[in-house]
């Protein structure tokens, strides 16, 4: 049995920050250090302007910071002092070499393992919190077994299932906590940490490989539901059915259930696409091309849904949006987060810019710099550079507004791309008056009330209905 008194978490991102804040909050007897190589990020965690926006997060951080929750760049020292080390670094899709575009880039994980091996003494429990391909623990174990000191290690897999925007609620009240590992004593020590607030029956223990694979599978199943309903949304538009009605009808079947059936402009976020592509890569690697093709289609359908949204806008606006002003409401990949990674908005804006539209973008939590950086990245050519034409579009055709009505002022159309609550409660009559007519509103989240908007005079188009 190991008694855990000091935890170090490597990676102060969307997962490391909130999960460690919750452990510190629920386990006052454990000292938690969250470390990162990014000094700016650590400085933000030590301020009241956190790098991650999550409802309720600031309050939890403020209540525990400098007590048993510390954010620091002193990585070696924090690793050395810890009984248990979580690795919560990023595992993006590889962009180079073998497996580029699909496999996970495990460079950051490997660097962490080497650093842990280099500075540790005594016994450490190393916990994979990042989402990893099956059998990564083997590599981590092998690196640690060659560590220079005389330290010994147990490796656990403890994938995180929180969703952004609801991270605090998810961490407080998780459906389950999954812990995979070979050493019963090490597994038990992590079970004991979570048991401070999670009911025992929700603490699931498995072997290492099942735990690693369950995380990829959970994300693949969730994303598959979104792509499934989005596929049906295209058929609804062609037939006169209404996708929200179809979702409500099938969701009452207890075998299907009502969640994750909201048709949208497409799923985004840092993980769904990355994790499915990783699964696809694994299937190909293990000689299962049919299984790989099955899952890859979930991502392809999502790309189709984003493209289809822009094509519908252009078609509806008399086949041209060139020189038209389009308000973009929302840039984050979902509401209640400042995260824009893989947001559908990036690809919708890019395609609209390529159609020569003029964009006026508003998001309540995303900065102008972040919007411009994402769009510049999305418009890079195959040679990794911006063409002069793209540079001109980025410089001349994008404005960032400070409110939704300001973005819509003098516009020909609105594209609602993130389901922020504030978009439900606007003075739509005033918005309508200040737009060019006909005033189009394309609701990529089926957030607004179609009948009311039609009554005001909008040409309102939702996903999966006509």
For position 270 contacting ligand NAD by CB under 6 A, the verdict is: yes
For position 103 contacting ligand NAD by CB under 6 A, the verdict is: no
- What does each C-alpha distance from 304 to 36, 227, 234, 266, 310 come to in angstroms? 37, 10, 10, 9, 10
| Whole-angstrom distance, CA of residue 150 vs CA of residue 106 | 25
Nearer to ligand UGA, 128 or 355 (CB): 128
By annotation, the residues acting in catalysis are 271
For position 131 contacting ligand UGA by CB under 6 A, the verdict is: yes
CB atoms within 10 A of CB 200: 8
Q: Taking the complex as a whole, how short is the minimal distance between the CB of residue 121 and ligand UGA, in angstroms?
A: 33
Long-range contacts for 455-459 (Cβ within 8 Å, ≥24 apart)? 456/428, 456/429, 456/432, 457/432, 458/428, 458/432, 459/316
Q: If DSSP codes are grouped into helix, strand and coil, which group holds residue 323?
A: coil
Which two three-digit tokens encode residue 32? 């938690």
Q: Taking the complex as a whole, how short is the minimal distance between the CB of residue 102 and ligand NAD, in angstroms?
A: 15
- What does each C-alpha distance from 279 to 121, 140, 176, 216, 220 come to in angstroms? 35, 19, 22, 7, 8
From 22-30, 145-153, 231-239, 267-275, span contacting ligand UGA (CB under 6 A): 267-275
Q: Taking the complex as a whole, how short is the minimal distance between the CB of residue 210 and ligand NAD, in angstroms?
A: 17
Residues 186-225 binding ligand UGA (CB under 6 A) are: 219, 222
Strand intervals (E) in 255-407 = 325-329, 358-362, 398-400
For position 53 contacting ligand NAD by CB under 6 A, the verdict is: no
For position 218 contacting ligand NAD by CB under 6 A, the verdict is: no
Closest residue (Cβ) to ligand NAD? 13
For position 223 contacting ligand NAD by CB under 6 A, the verdict is: no
b/e map of 19-32 (b: 16 or more CB within 10 Å)?
A: bbbbbbbbbeebbb
Residues 349-368 binding ligand NAD (CB under 6 A) are: none
Cα 160 to chain centroid, rounded: 12
Binding at 261: pick from ligand NAD, ligand UGA, none (beta carbon under 5-8 Å per type)? ligand UGA
For position 260 contacting ligand UGA by CB under 6 A, the verdict is: yes
- Helix or strand holding residue 230 (H, E): helix 208-239
Angle at which helices 136-145 and 208-239 pack, to 10 degrees? 150
Q: Which of 53, 108, 194, 460 binds ligand NAD (CB under 6 A)?
A: 108
From 238-246, 254-262, 289-297, 371-379, span contacting ligand UGA (CB under 6 A): 254-262
| Whole-angstrom distance, CA of residue 464 vs CA of residue 241 | 8
CB atoms within 10 A of CB 333: 25
Q: Which of 134, 162, 301, 361 binds ligand UGA (CB under 6 A)?
A: 162
CB atoms within 10 A of CB 460: 22
Binding at 147: pick from ligand NAD, ligand UGA, none (beta carbon under 5-8 Å per type)? none
Binding at 333: pick from ligand NAD, ligand UGA, none (beta carbon under 5-8 Å per type)? ligand UGA
- Helix or strand holding residue 462 (H, E): strand 459-462
| Whole-angstrom distance, CA of residue 72 vs CA of residue 16 | 13
Q: Are strands 413-416 and 325-329 parallel, antiparallel or unpaired?
A: parallel
| Whole-angstrom distance, CA of residue 67 vs CA of residue 62 | 10
Angle at which helices 208-239 and 289-316 pack, to 10 degrees? 40
Q: Which of 56, 58, 161, 217 binds ligand UGA (CB under 6 A)?
A: 161
Which two three-digit tokens encode residue 109? 């994980």
- Interface with ligand NAD: number of residues (CB under 6 A): 27
For position 111 contacting ligand NAD by CB under 6 A, the verdict is: yes
From 160-168, 173-181, 400-408, 447-455, span contacting ligand NAD (CB under 6 A): 160-168
Q: Taking the complex as a whole, how short is the minimal distance between the CB of residue 123 and ligand UGA, in angstroms?
A: 30
Binding at 226: pick from ligand NAD, ligand UGA, none (beta carbon under 5-8 Å per type)? ligand UGA
Nearer to ligand NAD, 140 or 162 (CB): 162
For position 226 contacting ligand UGA by CB under 6 A, the verdict is: yes
Cα 262 to chain centroid, rounded: 17
CB atoms within 10 A of CB 100: 12
For position 338 contacting ligand UGA by CB under 6 A, the verdict is: no
| Whole-angstrom distance, CA of residue 417 vs CA of residue 266 | 9
For position 160 contacting ligand NAD by CB under 6 A, the verdict is: yes
Q: Taking the complex as a whole, how short is the minimal distance between the CB of residue 307 and ligand NAD, in angstroms?
A: 25
**Per-residue x/- track, 277-316, ligand UGA (CB under 6 A):** ----------------------------------------
Residues of this chain that bind ligand NAD (CB under 6 A): 10-16, 35-38, 41, 75, 88-91, 108, 111-112, 130-131, 160, 162, 164, 270-271
Residues of this chain that bind ligand UGA (CB under 6 A): 131, 160-164, 219, 222, 226, 260-262, 264, 267-269, 271-272, 333-334
């Amino acid at each position: 049995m190991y008694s855990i008194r000091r935890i170090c978490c490597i990676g102060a991102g969307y997962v490391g920050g909130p999960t460690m804040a919750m452990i510190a909050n629920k386990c006052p007897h454990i000292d938690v250090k969250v470390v990162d190589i990014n000094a700016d990020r650590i400085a933000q965690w030590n301020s009241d302007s956190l790098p991650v926006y999550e409802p309720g997060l600031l309050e939890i951080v403020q209540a525990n910071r400098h007590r048993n929750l510390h954010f620091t760049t002193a990585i070696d020292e924090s690793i050395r002092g810890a009984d248990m080390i979580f690795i919560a670094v990023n595992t993006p899709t590889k962009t180079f070499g073998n497996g580029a575009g699909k496999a996970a880039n495990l460079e950051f994980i490997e660097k962490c393992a080497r650093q842990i091996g280099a500075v540790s003494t005594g016994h450490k429990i190393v916990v994979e919190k990042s989402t990893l391909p099956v059998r990564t623990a083997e590599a981590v174990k092998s690196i640690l077994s060659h560590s220079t000191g005389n330290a010994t290690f147990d490796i656990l897999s403890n994938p995180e299932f929180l969703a952004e925007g609801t991270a605090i609620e998810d961490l407080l009240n998780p459906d389950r906590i999954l812990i995979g590992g070979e050493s019963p004593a090490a597994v038990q020590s992590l079970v004991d940490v979570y048991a401070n607030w999670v009911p025992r029956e929700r603490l699931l223990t498995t072997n290492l490989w099942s735990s690693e694979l369950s995380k990829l599978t959970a994300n693949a199943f969730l994303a598959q539901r979104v792509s499934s309903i989005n596929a049906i949304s295209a058929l609804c538009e062609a037939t006169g059915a209404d996708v929200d009605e179809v979702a409500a009808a099938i969701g009452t079947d207890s075998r299907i259930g009502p969640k994750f059936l909201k048709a949208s402009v497409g799923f985004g976020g840092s993980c769904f696409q990355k994790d499915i592509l990783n699964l696809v890569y694994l299937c190909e690697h293990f000689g299962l091309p049919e299984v790989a093709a099955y899952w890859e289609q979930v991502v392809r359908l999502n790309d189709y849904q984003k493209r289809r949204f822009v094509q519908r806008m252009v078609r509806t606006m008399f086949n041209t949006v060139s020189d038209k002003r389009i308000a973009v409401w929302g840039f984050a990949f979902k509401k209640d987060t400042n995260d824009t990674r893989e947001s559908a908005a990036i690809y919708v804006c890019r395609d609209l810019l390529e159609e020569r539209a003029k964009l006026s973008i508003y998001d309540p939590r995303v900065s102008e710099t972040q919007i411009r950086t994402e769009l510049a990245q999305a418009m890079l050519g195959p040679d990794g550079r911006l063409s002069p034409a793209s540079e001109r579009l980025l410089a001349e055709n994008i404005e960032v507004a400070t409110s939704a009505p300001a973005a819509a002022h003098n516009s020909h159309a609105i594209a609602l791309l993130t389901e922020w609550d504030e978009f439900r409660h606007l003075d739509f009559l005033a918005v309508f008056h200040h737009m060019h007519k006909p005033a189009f509103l394309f609701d990529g989240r089926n957030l607004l009330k179609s009948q009311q908007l039609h009554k005001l005079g909008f040409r309102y188009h939702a996903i999966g209905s006509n």
